[in-house]
């Protein structure tokens, strides 16, 4: 039986000191998503400033084996929720597979439920392969697990023509040709010298698209913008994040924000100028991202949370995410099957 030393970190300075070990653990796991990377999660802490941090750490023989980054939402009942909430499409703990993910998850969960016995544990957007979906609380509490959302993904099993539906390829070719007839078209990826230009353009273009629908969109929130201003340069410098742009006569008319792991490209956010909608500028960038992912030997392009129609036009298929809730000791939840 594995034995772990589990403790919690409650101050920002100690979280930052953990970062080098945390990043090394992240790099050991080829299935880890960018949403589990310490830069992403520490950026969230910096932007959203949670009042009560609870970063749970498991060690075996002194070596870092697991990290469960959480915080307490000051509600009634108090809620123990994951750091990264609202900006992360996948939520999961980082667990060393060489040690045992199931055992690590059990140890971390037991510690947090004992230390925060008055809290409702609420973790959403858990990927379907997570060890969190296969553990029990063991603390005489009721739990509920149910499907939360879908993340359509395109498996990259061949070249562009063999994996993307024929109609989508025709539409993409037509859009590119028609826009090129009207002016100079250039696809580009942001570098260190113009990453701010691309990010600010994304904010504006995403907002313009949502304004047409009578809304504001997630990027209208000042804390969310601050978060992305913090994490974009850090992750871009490690080639884990790229901002793709489509210029027409020098002006950015579409920007796509993509995250990268060793095996998967994640299409996270995009925005485009509504005046160019007839030329499908967003689709033109998605096509470029898929082509690049194939060339880099990635296994999939993940379109992330939400079942929007355009994702399926590329041939994407759903991957489910789940929500786990474990009640405080004095509260009982209706139990639902996954």
Q: Is 132 a residue whose pLDDT tops 70?
A: yes
Average per-residue pLDDT in the chain?
93
Q: Are 96 and 68 in contact (CB under 8 A)?
A: no
CA distance 170 to 283: 12
Q: Is 337 a residue whose pLDDT tops 50?
A: no
Q: Are 105 and 67 in contact (CB under 8 A)?
A: no
Residues 195-228 have pLDDT tens digits of: 999 999 999 999 988 888 777 889 999 999 999 9
Q: Averaged over 148-173, what is the pLDDT? A: 96
Report the half-sphere exposure of 183 (CA within 13 A, side-chain side).
Answer: 10
Q: What is the pLDDT of residue 338?
A: 41
Closest to 122 in 3D by CA, of 87, 70, 74, 76:
70
Residues 68-90 have pLDDT tens digits of: 999 999 888 899 999 999 999 99
Sheet of 185-189: strands edge to edge? 153-155, 300-302, 264-272, 251-260, 241-248, 185-189
Domains and their CATH numbers in the chain: 5-149+322-326 (3.40.630.30), 153-313 (3.40.630.30)
Residues 231-286 have pLDDT tens digits of: 999 999 999 999 999 999 999 999 999 999 999 999 999 999 999 999 999 999 99
């Amino acid at each position: 039986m594995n034995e772990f030393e589990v403790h919690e970190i409650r101050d920002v300075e100690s979280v930052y000191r953990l970062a080098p070990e945390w990043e090394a653990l992240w790099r050991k796991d080829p299935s880890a998503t960018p949403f589990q990377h310490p830069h992403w999660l520490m950026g969230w802490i910096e932007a959203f400033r949670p009042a009560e941090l609870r970063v749970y750490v498991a060690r075996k023989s002194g070596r870092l084996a697991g990290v469960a980054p959480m915080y307490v939402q000051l509600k009634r009942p108090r809620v123990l929720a994951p750091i990264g909430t609202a900006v992360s499409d996948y939520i999961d703990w980082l667990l060393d597979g060489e040690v045992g993910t199931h055992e690590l998850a059990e140890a971390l969960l037991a510690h947090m439920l004992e230390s925060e016995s008055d809290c409702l544990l609420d973790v959403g957007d858990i990927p379907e392969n997570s060890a969190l979906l296969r553990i029990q609380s063991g603390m005489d509490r009721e739990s509920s697990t149910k499907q939360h959302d879908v993340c359509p993904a395109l498996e990259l099993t061949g070249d562009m023509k063999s994996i993307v539906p024929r109609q989508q390829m025709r539409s993409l070719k037509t859009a590119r040709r028609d826009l090129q007839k009207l002016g100079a078209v250039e696809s580009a990826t942001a570098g260190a010298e113009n990453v701010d230009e691309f990010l600010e353009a994304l904010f504006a273009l995403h907002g313009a698209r949502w304004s047409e629908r009578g809304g504001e969109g997630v990027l209208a929130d000042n804390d969310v913008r601050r978060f992305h201003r913090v994490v974009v340069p850090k992750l871009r410098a490690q080639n884990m994040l790229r901002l793709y742009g489509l210029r027409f006569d020098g002006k950015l008319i579409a920007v796509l924000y993509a995250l990268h792991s060793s095996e998967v490209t994640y299409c996270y956010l995009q925005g485009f100028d509504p005046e160019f909608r007839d030329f499908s500028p967003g689709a033109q960038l998605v096509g470029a991202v898929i082509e690049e992912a194939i060339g880099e030997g990635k296994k999939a392009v993940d379109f992330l949370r939400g079942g929007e129609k355009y994702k399926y036009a590329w041939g994407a298929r759903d991957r489910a995410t789940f929500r786990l809730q474990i009640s405080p000791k004095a509260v009982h939840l209706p139990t639902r099957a996954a």
